[in-house]
Amino acid sequence: MKVKIKRVDKSLPLPKYETGGSVGFDLICRETAVINPKEIVLIPGNVIVETPQGYMLLVCLRSSTPRKRGLMMAQGVGIVDNDYCGEEDELKIQVYNFIDEPVTIERGSRIAQGVFVRVDTFEWDEVDQMHAESRGGFGSTGK
């Protein structure tokens, strides 16, 4: 499937799947960023993506980013709707520095990845009572 994509800075390469088995494509940082301890920063990902109808774009950190760089995604994952694709809708990677020293991410670094996920929308069928047996609360399967 072809997906429309626009690079903000054409001197940086398009995102790519690094191996034949890669599920996610790496996002490249457009600008060098310094993230101070306990700070949240939005790092521009250099692309605007027109996610196809019936899909969402999931943005996650690369698995090595927390261990190697001391960063995690402030919101856990990024969910990009398929109508987030206007001229000002550059993908951004929201990171939180959880170590006690500043972290510098250089322009061109790969710290995050995107994954297209098939989705659907649903209608609510509101009921007065649920008919399944209660499991006993949050975290109940670990008893």
Q: Which structural domain, as residue segments, surrounds residue 47? A: 25-120
pLDDT digits (tens, 9 = 90+) for 50-96: 999 999 999 999 988 889 999 999 888 999 999 999 999 999 999 99
Question: Which residue's entry shows tokens 């191996």?
Answer: 19
CA dihedral 95, 8, 14, 103 (to 10 degrees): -30
What is the structure's pLDDT at 125?
95
Q: The CATH number of the domain where 67 resides is what?
A: 2.70.40.10
Q: Which amino acid is at 45?
A: G
In this structure, is residue 88 part of a structural domain?
Answer: yes
pLDDT digits (tens, 9 = 90+) for 14-52: 999 999 999 999 999 999 999 999 999 999 999 999 999
In this structure, is residue 42 part of a structural domain?
Answer: yes
What is the structure's pLDDT at 39?
97
The first and second tokens of residue 122, run together, are 């649903």
Under DSSP, is residue 26 helix (H, G, I), strand (E, B) or coil?
Answer: strand
